[in-house]
Amino acid sequence: MKTVAVSRALNQAIADLSAAVAEFLQQVHEGAVPDVRAAADEHLHAMREFARCTGVDLNDVPAWNENITNWRAVARLAASVPARIEQ
C-alpha cells in the first residue's frame, strides 16, 4: 500500500466525516434513525472508500485518532443483529 502524507485538507476531510458520525450517533441516541444498522454501515462504507481512494493510513490522521471512539461505536452498530423475539 502506498504511503500518503497527511495534508491539512485530508485531515479536514476525515474531521468532516467524523462530525457527520457524531451527529448520527446523537440522532441514534434520540431514537430518530429508523434503520440504525443500515445507516451505520453507510457511514463505515464512506470512510472505507475514502481511505481506499486516497491511500491514507487512518492511523496517521489526527482527526481519525481524535474520533476513533465514535467510529468504533458506529462499527458496533453496523455489526449489531436485531434481537430475536421469542413467541
Tell me the domain boundaries of the chain: 8-79
Q: Is 30 helix (H, G, I), strand (E, B) or coil?
A: coil
Helix (H) or strand (E) holding 58: none
Please give the model's pTM, rounded to 2 decimal places.
0.83
Q: What is the pLDDT of residues 25-60, one digit of tens each?
A: 999 999 999 999 999 999 999 999 999 999 999 999
**First-residue to last-residue Cα distance in the chain:** 51
